[in-house]
């Protein structure tokens, strides 16, 4: 039997919306999500979990209250739990997020138009 | 303050050995490891965890008792827990593994020269 791998590029091509993460795979209780982003997100934090950003295309800046990090293509960064952050993409960025199942994209921030429905697969 | 992202390419350049995963980052209790592989690994399984393979360069074949999967550059695959598998790389492959802290690379197989020391960071 020939099992099938998951192509990040092929799956990204199926995503139209910005800031709307789609689940690509699960490892135990964790989800690997693909997302396209453009512009500024909202300030938020995740009180119970770290969050991994892996940039596949473009360059993402994440602002913190005391600084920022620039994540270019082929780079990753782990935002520690409880750290307030705001992702910003001056041009479109394609990336993979890794975090536990059930995490809301806007974290502790008030629900808004930026709040995406969870557990939508691609 | 300028925080620093992790470059997968720069970190891979620091790794010489084959089949010797180095920890790049942690998310909660999970580790993101970089590894270069060449040739055939040993048959093994991880009874308590799924294991994620993300191929960054080259093409990895993972054999199962009932088939196989080919994972090319930019593709990923999740080997479910308890599934016996044997990674094979006809040419050198660079990849990222994601699995919980404490996982032994040779799983349930008898310790051998392929068994790498855990928790070595790059």
Is this structure's pTM higher than 0.90? Answer: yes
Best mutation target among B46, B67, B76 (most A Cβ atoms within 10 Å) is B76
For chain B, give the mean pLDDT. Answer: 97
Shortest alpha-carbon distance between residue A115 and chain B (Å): 23
Closest CB to B5 among A7, A51, A71? A71
CB contact under 8 A, B7 and A75: yes
Give tens-digit pLDDT for A9-68. Answer: 999 999 999 999 999 999 999 999 999 999 999 999 999 999 999 999 999 999 999 999
pLDDT above 90 coverage of chain B, percent? 100
Residue range A97-117: mean pLDDT, rounded: 94
Beta-strand runs (E) in A13-50 = 22-27, 30-40
CB contact under 8 A, B27 and A2: no
CB contact under 8 A, B6 and A76: yes
Give tens-digit pLDDT for B73-112. Answer: 999 999 999 999 999 999 999 999 999 999 999 999 999 9
Burial of A17 (0-12, 13-18, 19+ CB in 10 A): exposed
For chain A, give the mean pLDDT. Answer: 97
User: Position of tokens 């808004």?
Assistant: A112
Report the residue of chain A nearest B28, measured CA to CA.
Answer: A50
Q: Is B98 on the interface with A (CB under 8 A)?
A: yes
Cα–Cα distance for residue pair A14/A10, rounded to 1 Å = 7
Beta-strand runs (E) in A29-117 = 30-40, 51-57, 59-64, 67-72, 75-79, 85-100
Q: Which domains does chain A have, with CATH numbers?
A: 8-100 (2.60.120.10)
C-alpha angle A84-A75-A85 in degrees, rounded to nearest 5: 10
Q: Is A47 on the interface with B (CB under 8 A)?
A: no
CB contact under 8 A, A75 and B6: yes
Q: Is B51 on the interface with A (CB under 8 A)?
A: yes
Cα–Cα distance for residue pair B74/B45, rounded to 1 Å = 24
Chain B residues with beta carbon closer than 8 angstroms to that of A87:
none
């Amino acid at each position: 039997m020939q099992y099938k791998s998951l192509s990040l590029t092929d799956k990204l091509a199926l995503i139209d919306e910005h800031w709307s993460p789609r689940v690509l795979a699960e490892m135990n209780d964790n989800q690997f999500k693909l997302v396209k982003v453009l512009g500024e997100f909202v300030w938020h934090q995740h009180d119970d979990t770290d969050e991994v950003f892996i940039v596949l295309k473009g360059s993402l800046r994440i602002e913190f209250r005391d600084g920022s990090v620039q994540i270019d293509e082929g780079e990753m960064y782990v935002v520690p739990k409880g750290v307030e952050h705001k992702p910003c993409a001056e041009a479109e960025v394609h990336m993979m997020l890794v975090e536990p199942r059930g995490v809301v994209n806007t974290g502790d921030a008030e629900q808004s138009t930026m709040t995406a429905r969870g557990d939508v697969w691609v």
